[in-house]
Structure 1
């Protein structure tokens, strides 16, 4: 399989019911990985992902958890270890905008839910996976942040953008902390990707305005994010890459 070879590796993908998570699961399956797929509510979606993984020649286990709850996150990793015996790659993809609202209209409960879904989940899973990677002598974490973390987000998404900015900072800091132990931590930062996320939260007029700011003149697809995730997860391809946030946005932002 050349450089992209994940045979004999167990890859955890959170938020695997649709979008980038589902596409990444299939990409890993095509390179020989064994998948542990997380979902929260969309069981039908994640079962569809399992079917796609099997079509790609891979195998996958299913795990339900509300990752906004750190105890649930811990139990999820424990369950994966019980079934597979090891974890080599953690892809922290699960997240959501939750709801578009001006800051003045965001209640405390909504603010904390957005941070928990996008940030607490990454923190809790990373905290739990570190001793696993230490015991195995290494591992890779790939977080999914967002262009919003750099430019402040589209209308009504300030809190979401804040949570994703925190994920980017967490990625850099954790990479520094774990680098001496052979554990790499990186992130992919998608721009406007056509997923159920935007179907739920972005109207046609807002989407048109977003596309007008993209030099490529179109939205991206989940599959266009997969190569970057595989690259960052691969010790053979990216063994000297850590603490990086790679933008995948059609030229919308060039930091």
Structure 2
């Protein structure tokens, strides 16, 4: 590893599994001090263990991005512990059960927006305030290829929430560029996480399904997702602002 993030303090929400965990581990390997946040303590503790096993520095904070007071406390805790916040990866999200729009309960639609869209907005709100005070920082929001780039029957609420994340990120990027804050979005397709499995589908069956769906013949790995996040957070992407980076194995090509 190159130590690209040595001396940086990085926050990853939804850091207990999937792309969030892989991203946190990758930042740790690159020298960052990593704080992972989420609602499930056992998963967060395991992520911290993996980072420390590799020689990195990490900690965790319990926080629900659907609750504004908890998001505010999360950012405050990171700064109290480490003095600053250099990179924030807003990865926490919610995938509702498939349902057509006419059959979808309003409570489920609202919950999807509450976590995915409003949760990302709450996170950015307090991250930006801190980064503006310290003279800059980087935010990477994790959206999805579903929404702005691809439609899937039964995923209208999820797609709407994720498409809105990209739009929100572009607005923030323009508003706070002069404060030294870069905001970009990562929009992945299916990754090798339980979330990408269909009902009652095995991982082996998912492999076969992907062969016929993706031009590359497979779904992505969480390590590939993490690598894309680190690129957007690094100085190597210093001229990228308000960008929506799609990594999807060619499914929208």
Q: Scaled by the length of structure 2, what TM-score is found?
A: 0.93
Contact in 1 for aligned 2:25/2:47 (Cα 8 Å): yes
Distance in 2, matches of 1:137 and 1:222, equals 31
Q: Does the CA-based 8 Å contact 2:66-2:119 persist in structure 1?
A: yes
Label 1:186 to 1:202 Cα distance change in 2 as closer, same or farther (>3 A): farther
Could you tell me how far apart the structure 1 residues matched to 2:70 and 2:104 are?
26
Q: Decide whether the 8 Å contact of 2:210 with 2:218 is kept in 1.
A: no
Alignment of 1:29-44 (within 5 A): 29-40=28-39, 42-44=40-42
Residue in 2 aligned with 1:216?
216
Matches of 1:139 and 1:49 in 2, distance apart? 24
Q: Residues 202 and 12 from structure 1, CA distance in 2 versus in 1: closer, same or farther, beyond 3 angstroms?
A: farther
Task: Report the more deviating stretch, 139-148 or 64-73.
Answer: 64-73
What residue ranges of structure 2 are gaps of 5+ in the alignment?
none
Q: Are residues 1:70 and 2:76 paired?
A: no
CA 1:211 to 1:43, structure 2 compared with 1: closer, same or farther past 3 Å?
A: farther
Distance 1:202 1:229 in 2: 28
Q: Give the CA deviation at 1:155.
A: 3.3
Going from structure 1 to structure 2, the CA distance change for 1:8 and 1:14 (only over 3 Å counts) comes to same
Superposition RMSD in Å:
1.8
Query: For the residues of structure 2 that align with 1:140 and 1:109, how far apart are their CA atoms?
Result: 33
The aligned counterpart of 2:21 is 22
* Aligned-partner Cα distance in 1 for 2:199–2:30: 34
Select between 151-160 and 175-184 the one with higher mean Cα deviation. Answer: 151-160
Q: CA separation in 1, counterparts of 2:244 and 2:54?
A: 28
Task: Quote the residue 1:49 is aligned against.
Answer: 47
Cα 1:90–1:202 change in 2 (3 A) is: farther
Work out whether residues 38 and 63 of structure 2, in 8 Å CA contact, stay in contact via their aligned partners in 1: yes
Give unmatched runs, 5+ long, in structure 1.
none
Instruction: Give the TM-score, by structure 1 length.
Output: 0.92
**1:120 maps to 2:118:** yes
- Contact kept, 8 Å, 1:18 with 1:196, in 2: the verdict is no
Partner of 2:131: 133
